[in-house]
């Protein structure tokens, strides 16, 4: 027998530990925390500290540095269960896990020993990592925040202008303006990053910057390890998000931040395999989708309408079947991708597919589940509206699904004649 879909006893143990934690510590409080209007006042450190004491931020740290030495399958199981109770908490762990993977693959032995150990032995149990990468960019004359402030006076694009449309030449593209300037044995980094998960809460930043002001997009980027409290690092606007409010997202501002050259990832991008956290993000949305399905099924068993409980109405049956199929297939794709990664088989298209599919499934399933609840699905004292808001982030962050398809998945598909 070569195919076995069952979890090992160890995997089942960590999955049920995470589920029990999610059920007891997160689920009873998530809705109330989500309602706090000030985004700076939400981040529930006590929940995160307890989770970290159980090892949830250490699954991917090798045992020789004090971590749990587990793989991506186990990490996905943890993130999925936490997200079942709250997508924002799941996302905090997904982003952290993604950085652990990058450190493991691209870090030197000294970098790994220093930072893996710092995370595994953090006495406060508050060690999270951030990836300050995204910026608003400078292409065009209006920034997104200008637009939000009502300045949208570019005017329509007229038919004859389509013919004259030209893309920005590569040499002029500057979507990343954060720059690292060489200064002896150091880099001096300046620029502003936006939307950064755990910014202001994390202890280590894996920061991207353009090396030298002249280098163009796609070339000459570096990735730097920067302690979150380093001189020259500060934090700006905290985002007031539609969902996933139990994670924090904020601006990270670098002002001549001095980074020793030894804190750069010199083999970033040339590392044998940059797995990128796609399966861990898929786990967030599999958790949200499964919860929505479970809530809809439970409600359909108690709600009487049209002479029967609504689970006996065919339209509701089809909705529930559709949800169940999507939740199950999405999870199988995630586990396949995570398993492939753990077998060290090299980067594979399953990762991209798992992120894209799980996030689309979560939006679809939470929407259908909301429909099963009828009017109550739209009410804030019922679970569905939060699940829908939390799910809606999936196709947008970590790279939009469109970007991931055109930039990452299609090159893989085009290199193959068939799908497996």
The binding site for ligand FAD (CB under 6 A) comprises: 95, 130-134, 195-197, 241, 249, 393, 396-400, 402-403, 406
**C-beta of residue 204 within 8 angstroms of C-beta of residue 174:** no
Q: How far is CA 2 from CA 5, 329, 332, in A?
A: 10, 20, 17
**C-beta of residue 334 within 8 angstroms of C-beta of residue 289:** no
Output the smallest distance, CB 57 to ligand FAD, in A.
15
Residue 234 or 400 with smaller CB distance to ligand FAD: 400
Residue 113 or 403 with smaller CB distance to ligand FAD: 403
Output the smallest distance, CB 15 to ligand FAD, in A.
26
Pairing of strands 204-211, 129-130: parallel
The H helix count followed by the E strand count for the chain is 14, 9
Tokens matching residue 318: 């089809």
**What does 236-282 look like in DSSP terms, one character per residue?**
EEEP--SS-TTS-EEEEEEEEEEEEGGGB-TTTTTSS---TTHHHHH
Residue 3 or 148 with smaller CB distance to ligand FAD: 148
Cα radius of gyration rounded to whole Å, the chain: 22
Pairing of strands 204-211, 179-183: parallel
Tokens matching residue 392: 């809606």
Residue 179 or 196 with smaller CB distance to ligand FAD: 196
Output the smallest distance, CB 262 to ligand FAD, in A.
23
Residue 40 or 406 with smaller CB distance to ligand FAD: 406
Contacts of 390 (CB under 8 A, 6+ apart): 86, 87, 88, 243, 244, 288, 366
Output the smallest distance, CB 382 to ligand FAD, in A.
24
Tokens matching residue 354: 């798992």
Q: Is 256 left (phi over 0), alpha (psi -120 to 50) or beta?
A: left
Output the smallest distance, CB 317 to ligand FAD, in A.
34
Output the smallest distance, CB 403 to ligand FAD, in A.
5
Output the smallest distance, CB 243 to ligand FAD, in A.
8
Residue 197 or 359 with smaller CB distance to ligand FAD: 197
Output the smallest distance, CB 276 to ligand FAD, in A.
12
The whole-angstrom separation of Cα 408 and Cα 298 is: 39
Residue 34 or 295 with smaller CB distance to ligand FAD: 34
The whole-angstrom separation of Cα 281 and Cα 267 is: 24
Residue 287 or 377 with smaller CB distance to ligand FAD: 287
Residue 330 or 401 with smaller CB distance to ligand FAD: 401
Number of residue whose CB is nearest ligand FAD: 133
Output the smallest distance, CB 98 to ligand FAD, in A.
9
**C-beta of residue 23 within 8 angstroms of C-beta of residue 235:** no
Helix (H, G, I), strand (E, B) or coil at 51: helix
């Amino acid at each position: 027998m070569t195919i076995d879909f069952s979890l090992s006893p160890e995997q089942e143990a960590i999955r049920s530990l995470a589920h029990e934690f999610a059920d007891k510590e997160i689920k009873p409080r998530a809705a109330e925390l989500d309602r706090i209007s000030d985004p700076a006042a939400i981040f529930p450190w006590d929940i995160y500290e307890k989770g970290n004491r159980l090892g949830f931020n250490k699954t991917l740290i090798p045992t020789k540095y004090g971590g749990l030495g587990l793989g991506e399958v186990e990490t996905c199981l943890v993130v999925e269960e936490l997200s079942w109770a709250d997508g924002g908490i799941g996302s905090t762990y997904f982003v952290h896990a993604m950085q652990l993977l990058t450190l493991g693959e691209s870090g030197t032995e000294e970098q790994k020993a220093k930072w893996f150990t710092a995370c595994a032995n953090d006495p406060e149990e508050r060690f999270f990592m951030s990836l300050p990468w995204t910026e608003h960019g400078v292409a065009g004359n209006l920034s997104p925040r200008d637009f939000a402030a009502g300045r949208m006076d570019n005017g329509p694009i007229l038919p004859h202008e389509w013919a004259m449309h030209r893309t920005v030449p590569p040499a002029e593209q500057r979507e990343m303006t954060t720059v690292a300037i060489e200064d002896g044995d150091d880099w001096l980094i300046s620029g502003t990053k936006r939307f950064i998960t755990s910014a202001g809460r994390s202890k280590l930043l894996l920061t991207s910057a353009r090396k030298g002001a002249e280098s163009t997009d796609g070339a000459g980027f570096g990735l730097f390890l920067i302690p979150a409290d380093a001189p020259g690092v500060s934090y700006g606007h905290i985002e007031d998000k539609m969902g996933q409010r139990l994670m924090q997202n904020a601006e990270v501002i670098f002002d001549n931040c001095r980074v020793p050259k030894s804190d750069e990832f010199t083999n970033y991008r040339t590392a044998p395999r940059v797995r990128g956290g796609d399966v861990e993000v898929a786990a967030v949305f599999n958790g949200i989708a499964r919860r929505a399905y479970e809530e809809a099924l439970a409600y359909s068993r108690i709600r009487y309408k049209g002479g029967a409980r609504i689970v006996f109405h065919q339209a509701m049956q089809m909705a529930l079947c559709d949800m169940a199929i999507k939740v199950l297939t999405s999870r199988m794709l995630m586990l396949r991708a995570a398993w492939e990664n753990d077998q060290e088989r090299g980067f594979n298209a399953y990762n991209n597919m798992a992120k894209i599919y799980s996030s689309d499934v979560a939006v679809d399933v939470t929407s259908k589940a909301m429909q099963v609840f009828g009017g109550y699905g739209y009410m804030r004292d019922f679970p569905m509206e939060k699940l829908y808001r939390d799910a809606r982030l999936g196709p947008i962050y970590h790279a939009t699904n469109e970007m991931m398809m055109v930039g990452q998945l299609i090159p893989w598909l085009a290199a193959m004649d068939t799908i497996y």
